[in-house]
Copies of this chain bind each other. A is one copy, B any other.
Amino acid sequence: MDADITYNLLIAGNDRCFTCKKDKTILQALVDCGVFIEANCGGRGTCGRCKIQVLSGQVTTQTGQPVQPGPDKTYLACQVYPRGDITILLNKAAVSSKGQNIEIGIAEETPLVKKVVLTPVYPTVDNHYSLQDMLQQALASQTSDPRLGASLRFFDQAAILRRLAAVVETQPERITLTLLDSQLIAVETGDTSGRLYGVAFDVGTTTVVGMLADIKAGKVIAVCSKNNPQASMGADVISRIQATHELEGGLERLSQLIRICLNQIIAELCGMANIALHDIYTVTVAGNATMSHLALEISPSTLVRKPYAALFKYIAPLDPTELELSINKQGKVIILPNIASFVGSDTTAAILAIEQDIADKPLLLVDLGTNGEMVIGDGKRLYACSTAAGPAFEGAYIRDGMRAAEGAITDVVITGEDVLIQVIGNVKPVGICGSGIVKAVAELVKTGVLAANGRFNTAAGGLPLSIRERLKKRDGQWEFVLVAAKDSAGGADISITQADVRQIQLVKSSICTGIEFLQERLSARHELKVCLAGAFGNYIDIESAVIIGMLPGVRPECIYSVGNAAGTGAVQTLLSAERMQRCIAIAAKVNYVELAAQPGFQNGFLKNLSFPRYCPQ
């Protein structure tokens, strides 16, 4: 079959020779080969992160049409197919966020999970020590890991002993132990050391991402993301929490939805990497506190009602049955620790990923997903706060808003007389997604269509007629038409309304005010470096964020997009015992700042609703 045609794929700087199939994109081929490169849009061709440089060989569209390369013969790996053996150069920034390679050198660090193969010396009729003793002795004499100690307590768990009973029945020559940090979690017949995988999850309110890691190799070999099916019961955490106490069986349904989703992702990852479910021994989960409560089927309703609290910050490794996850039955699931009720383990993991806990200079993390969390730190102190930033960014509460899917306007540029837009896919525009809204509002501020107070300058004389004509009044409120009805997929204008602008003002003001309060804590304003992370933080146009005043007193050149930092952190904890310890230490160390309880917060929030006066640089 034509689809089975396979070519050689060489990566400059990498000794191995990979292969790629004719009907798969280069991105898919790279993922299949275990080369993890960022593709935040999931291969839709919109994020531009999977750029590769083709050094030799030819690539085309799926149907064989030529593709126009960028400078230096760069292509988006998700959009091109091989047409022969090719050699490529990876964009270093795509492989790792800001040079932070996701391939953690586990040779240097102590792995979180490892396997030890023992050759047990069985007791005899004249010397019948216990089988527990036998393994303890084998462990002491055949390994040099001091963590394993010499204590019989290492083998004292009933589940392990029952498992050992089954294993020794056939008296195998080799027995493989799997260790999670210094805890024995699995006992297996024979040498199974070749199979050791884990999955790191970033469970977002909107999107769930799973990353399959080959733990021995210390790298991610497959990535899969799905919409969080809980969205059918509410777009944001607050509405889902309400569902748990308003709907009969709401908690159970929400819990089941996310568990099914996690299992689907695990199954797909196993299919992609051609491994078995029982080859997965460890799962780490980063997510906000609501997500971790729901995954555990523990009511999160106390988060929003008396006593206004999360049940837990830290929870010990769980048996897979606790979350009904289909992985190795002897495996463990680790819900990473939360920081506070509304600053979850996704933030903990993100702090770890950008190494804010050991930073030598003040660093600000702005993680914008369905919620917004901000953390400031200088390596010694860490302060965090949260805002319910998100839904506006995800298109909710915006009249013509939509998620970043086909037909979504992702970019808006207002030239002298015209409005240029960029749309996902080769289709008529359907609506506008979060990054498009922010960009549009920034453009409207820049061009003076929006006044500093957020009102449309309907009387502004300085605007070209073609721009001024786009301001219309509909249903009693002003709106700025981006796409006229005749050009839109739905046959209606796609606009930014006065209410939409208000939503963006509310969101950006709460983020801006939160950052100001954090900056006060650290007395660090000017030399601040900013890392933008999260599903939205990653796509936002940095200049636009500065223009609308979301990031106060920060120079654009000090702002970096760091991708899915939470996901990166979750992978790191999966691969490194030291990172896992740091992750737990971070959750204990971060000081939570409850913005609503801060004197002056309301005043600051009202002040920051305004857009800053735009001064072209």
* CB-defined A-B contacts under 8 Å, sample of 8: A126-B596, A128-B303, A130-B341, A157-B315, A158-B318, A161-B296, A164-B311, A165-B298
CB distance from A16 to the nearest CB of B (A): 41
**Extra inter-chain contacts (15) besides given A126-B596, A171-B307, CB under 8 Å:** A122-B307, A123-B307, A127-B594, A128-B308, A128-B340, A128-B341, A131-B309, A132-B310, A134-B307, A156-B312, A156-B315, A158-B318, A161-B296, A161-B315, A162-B298
Task: Say what secondary structure dominates the interface of chain A.
Answer: loop
Nearest chain B CB to A28's CB is how many angstroms away? 38
Task: Tell me the nearest residue of chain B to A342, going by C-beta.
Answer: B128
A168 within 8 A of B: yes
Chain A 325-348, CB-CB to B under 8 Å as 1, else 0, gives: 000000000000010110000000
Q: Which of B161, B171, B302 contacts A306 (CB 8 A)?
A: B171
Query: Contact at B123–A313, with CB atoms within 8 Å?
Result: no
Q: Is A486 an interface residue (CB 8 A)?
A: no
- Flag if A338 contacts B307 (CB, 8 Å): no
Complex CA distance for A131 and B597, rounded to whole angstroms: 19
Per the bound structure, the CA–CA distance linking A307 and B124 in Å amounts to 6
Interface size class of A (residues with CB under 8 A): 35 or more
Specify which chain B residues have a CB less than 8 angstroms from the CB of A128 in the assembled complex.
Answer: 303, 307-310, 340-341, 594
Task: Indicate if the CB atoms of B165 and A311 lie closer than 8 Å.
Answer: yes
Q: Check A131–B312 contact: CB distance below 8 A.
A: yes
Residues in B whose Cβ lies below 8 Å from that of A18: none
Which B residues lie within 8 Å of A322 (CB)? 158
Contact of A130 among B122, B134, B311 (CB under 8 A): B311
Chain B residues with CB under 8 A of A614: none
Q: A594 touching B316 by the CB < 8 A rule?
A: no
Q: Does A560 sit at the interface, judged by CB under 8 A?
A: no
Q: Chain B residues near A296 (CB, 8 Å)? A: 158, 161-162
Name A596's closest neighbour in chain B (CB-CB): B126
Instruction: Report the bound CA distance from A131 to B309 in whole Å.
Output: 6
**Are A131 and B307 CB-contacts (below 8 A) given A161-B298, A316-B153?**
yes
Count copies of this chain in the complex.
2
- Return A481 CB to nearest CB of chain B, in Å: 42
Residues 26-42 of A at the B interface (beta carbon under 8 Å): none
CB contact under 8 A between A313 and B594, given known A128-B341, A302-B131: no
Q: Mark A144-157, 1 if CB is under 8 A from B, else 0.
A: 00000000110111
Q: Is the CB of B152 within 8 A of A314?
A: yes
When distances are taken between beta carbons in the complex, the residues of chain B under 8 Å from A303 are 128
- B161 near A311 with CB under 8 A, answer yes
Which residue of B122, B129, B316, B338 contacts A157 across the interface (Cβ within 8 Å)? B316
- Nearest 10 A/B pairs, CB to CB: A126-B597, A122-B307, A156-B316, A128-B308, A123-B309, A132-B312, A130-B310, A125-B308, A128-B341, A128-B309
**Residue from A152, A307, A310, A313 having most chain B Cβ neighbours under 10 A:** A307
Judge if A133 is at the interface, Cβ distance under 8 Å: yes
Chain A residues 147-185 with CB under 8 Å of chain B are 152-153, 155-158, 161-162, 164-165, 168, 171
- Say whether, besides A126-B596, A308-B128, A133 and B313 are in contact (CB < 8 Å): yes
Looking at the assembled complex, report how far the CB atom of A177 sits from the nearest CB atom of chain B, in whole angstroms. Answer: 15
Q: Is the CB of A313 within 8 A of B152?
A: yes
A396 at the interface (CB under 8 A from B): no
A299 interface contact, C-beta 8 A: yes
* Contact assessment for B126 and A311 in the assembled complex, using a CB-CB cutoff below 8 Å: no
| A130 and B308 contact, Cβ closer than 8 Å, known pairs A165-B299, A298-B162 | no
Let me know if A158 and B315 touch, CB within 8 A: yes
Interface contact A130-B171, CB-CB below 8 Å: no
Asked if A588 is at the interface (CB within 8 A of a chain B CB), the reply is yes
Given contacts A338-B130, A596-B126, contact A158 B316 (CB under 8 A): yes
The distance from the CB of A134 to the nearest CB of chain B, in whole angstroms, is 7
Q: Chain B CB within 10 Å — which of A153, A296, A314 has the most? A: A314
Known: A158-B322, A307-B124, A308-B124. A130 touches B165 (CB 8 A): no
Least CB distance from A347 to B in Å reads: 15
Candidates B155, B313, B597; contact of A127 at CB < 8 Å: B597
